[in-house]
Structure 1
Amino acid sequence: MSVVTSSSFNFKSLSPSPTRPFPSWINNGDTSPSLLLLREISASFSRRSANSFLKKVSCAKSPDDYHATLKSLNSRGRFPRKSLGQHYMLNSDINHQLAAAANVKEGDFVLEIGPGTGSLTNVLLNLGATVLAIDKDPHMVDLVRERFAGSDKFKVLQEDFVKSHIRSHMLSILEGSDSALAKVVSNLPFNISTDVVKLLLPMGDIFSEVVLLLQDEAALRLVEPALRTSEYRPINILVNFYSEPEYNFRVPRENFFPQPKVDAAVVTFKLKHPKDYPDVSSTKSFFSLVNSAFNGKRKMLRKSLQHISSSLEIEKALGVAGLPVTSRPEELTLGDFVKLHNVIARE
């Protein structure tokens, strides 16, 4: 994802508009980082688009949105880091909709990945949830730790989520909790979304649902892929094996700082409990077969699976599974792959 970085700003391009003066909290005549930060944000757009952007994000009624987010960043002298995929939500209404999509309520335990300045965290805590937040950026960890220091329902860990031992963390926490299963609600850094989905979805024994704000194109690929298209991939088999995905709603790019070049979307994955997974003898061998099949996506399965069995044996297995011997991977549903795997596993 491409985002606006601090190196691309032009400080000279900004001046207050007589019809839309700067907010009073930065219109004080000083040269503090607060003023510089707002100048950098506004200068990343043309004068016309900047006014449009400010008008859109200023419409939110909650105080925990546009100015609060910018003040939080400024309090640490922070700029969003492209390397971490950081994009901060400026519209608290979206945070409320994220929480509503997961039906967060009093007594829930919620995992949040990448809390940033804590705007979504605040919504979750106000709903009565206990929140474990994980962030790779030590500056953001310090910020939210300080912000919610008075809450006994909040804990933050400085870790790279894709390398963290999240199962161990969750099991140790849930042992002393009244919650049978936890939930995940997160405005994810776009650059780790696929890794996070692969890590979380097989945890139906820990989480009941995973609600993520993802890049819109990625959300559509995960939830609504069509057979026989280039968008149909092994990740779609994984998503449907472990969950029931639902595309909730699109989030326009204007709601973020920095503004990305793409829109986002909220997706709900209702996780299946392990006892409800498709019946395969081994999930490891099942996904090994799926990945092997898609490694030769344009090839027929009797060719791409030759390292598992001979072409004749694969043809025979396809026939027993009720599939054409000329089948290609993008033509098979989850159920088809399950039947094929089980036939091959029995032989």
Structure 2
Amino acid sequence: MVSSLRPVPSPIPSLTQKSAPSAHISLHLRPRLRVVAGARTSDDYHATLKALNSKGRSPRKSLGQHYMLDSAINEELISAAGVKDGDIVLEIGPGTGSLTNVLIDAGATVLAIEKDPHMAVLVRERFENINRLKVLQEDFLKCHIRHHIHSLLEGGSMSNANPSYAKVVANIPFNISTDIVKLLLPMGDIFSQVVLLLQEETALRLVEASSKSSEYRPINVFINFYSDPQYKFKVPRSNFFPQPNVDAAVVAFKLKQAADYPPVSSTKSFFSMVNSAFSGKRKMLRKSLQHLRSSLEIEKALENIGLPNTSRPQDLTLEDFVMLHDSITKV
């Protein structure tokens, strides 16, 4: 009965409270929104609060929820991915739908994966009259993403377009960013571009760390094996609600096709070797890889590819690791 319903207390500031971010929020990127027939209102601080209040929600720290407040940055995101009319785009964690809104206005067909059931309902309701959007309430790290994307690429999409590859454009939770990168980059058979908004420190570590760098890790070898990464631009923390303790950045990964991967006999064996090499980062490879071959054989393999027999993992490039793997796995 209606009389039994009580108003849900707002878990976030009322729209009348003066708690909005400073007026100079994210003005390093000026709004450049296109004029599109039937385009919806751009998202900002007040629109975000209104959307959250409509479901009695507040951002959940456990899900890494930080909502974008600047539509101009969303425009830059889709520009970095080269999104055009007819593209199929995967969005991870649409939240209140601010990026979804811009993707739809660009003419894309969007598959949005949202773990929070309340946000999934919110986005469905917001775009209920749009036939180029499908919202799945699932944990992205556990869903069958290949199945979902293949069904769209093979003609089951909600548009008349039939592109060969989909794209990923997403403002992802910082706390699972590395897991998402590891899951997406080997999918060059279905995705051409993966453009992600990440924590800036993570973005720099993933893209710019190279051999000889103290930040060089197995993930850098992995990223360069499967893609050509590029740091795009920084996004100050003031552009999010709630404001995180760190700035963000946008990274574009151009995915490689299988034919363009470095030639290794087994990717599983290759990355197992790389991980072992870094398990003792200060150790020389002749020590950390001696479970694969004897120390003398490792030394010989290093010398065969033109490296000192005292080399450590941070001394090797992707190409060096590929040649080393080829050398030590030969019978």
Distance 1:286 1:246, change over 3 A: same
Q: Which runs of 5+ in 2 are unaligned?
A: 1-6, 32-40
Q: Which runs of 5+ in 1 are unaligned?
A: 1-30, 44-49
Moved more, 60-69 or 302-311: 60-69
Alpha-carbon distance in 2 for matches of 1:250, 1:224: 14
Alpha-carbon distance in 2 for matches of 1:58, 1:32: 32
Distance 1:150 1:39, change over 3 A: closer
Whether the 8 Å CA contact 1:57–1:66 is kept in 2: the answer is: no
Q: How many residues are aligned here?
A: 309
**Residue by residue, what CA displacement relative to the aligned partner does 1:172-230 show, whole Å, maximum 9, x if unpaired?**
22111511000000000101100000000000011001000000000000110142333
Q: CA deviation at 1:58?
A: 9.8
Alpha-carbon distance in 2 for matches of 1:40, 1:337: 56
Task: Describe the SS at the equivalent of 2:62.
Answer: helix
Give the aligned partner of residue 125 of structure 2.
146
Give the aligned partner of residue 75 of structure 2.
96
Task: Describe the SS at the equivalent of 2:24.
Answer: helix
Residue number among 24, 43, 54 corresponding to 2:22 in the alignment: 54
Give the aligned partner of residue 208 of structure 2.
224
Alpha-carbon distance in 1 for matches of 2:148, 2:296: 47
> Comparing both structures, which one devotes a greater share of its residues to helix?
1
Give the aligned partner of residue 240 of structure 2.
256
Structure 1 segments, 4+ long, off by >4 Å, are: 31-34, 39-43, 57-62
Whether the 8 Å CA contact 2:42–2:98 is kept in 1: the answer is: no
Whether the 8 Å CA contact 2:169–2:195 is kept in 1: the answer is: yes
- TM-score, with structure 1 as normaliser: 0.85
Give the aligned partner of residue 23 of structure 1.
none
Alpha-carbon distance in 2 for matches of 1:171, 1:110: 12
Distance 1:106 1:69, change over 3 A: same
Letter in 2 for 1:206: I
Alpha-carbon distance in 1 for matches of 2:57, 2:16: 13
Distance 1:64 1:242, change over 3 A: same
- TM-score, with structure 2 as normaliser: 0.89
Q: CA deviation at 1:39?
A: 5.0
| Equivalence map 1:18-37=2 (5 Å) | 33=9, 37=12
Alpha-carbon distance in 2 for matches of 1:116, 1:56: 23
Alpha-carbon distance in 2 for matches of 1:185, 1:301: 38
1:297 to 2:263 alignment: no
Distance 1:204 1:58, change over 3 A: closer
Q: What is the root-mean-square deviation of aligned Cα atoms in Å? A: 2.0
Alpha-carbon distance in 1 for matches of 2:8, 2:168: 37
